[in-house]
Amino acid sequence: MIAGFDTFPDELRDTTEVTVECVSDETTPETCGRWEETFEVGTPEAIMMDAHGLLHFDGLPTECPECGNYVLLAYNGVEVFKEP
């Protein structure tokens, strides 16, 4: 379950270049907290928000390859929290 958004984040609108970052905070203290990589996605539609306000990322990593953190990642600076 990914935390819901009220509106589609502007940072992810009409973009095909997405920087994914590993973010650590008090909910994910064990993460590396620094992995960052920029990815190209084929179309802006690869990033979608569904009727429940949940973001879906087609073709983008949803966990950190360094430490395996999948709870809190940032996409173009937009922090996306996923229930452990």
Identify which range of 11-19, 36-44, 58-66, 75-83 contacts Zn ion by CB under 5 A. 58-66
Question: Two tokens at 61?
Answer: 């990593």
How many residues in the shown chain lie near Zn ion by CB under 5 A? 8
Comparison of 49 and 63: residue with beta carbon closer to Zn ion? 63
Return d(Cα 75, Cα 46) in angstroms, integer: 13
Interface pick for Zn ion out of 41, 54, 66, 70 (rule CB under 5 A): 66
| 63 touches Zn ion by CB under 5 A | no
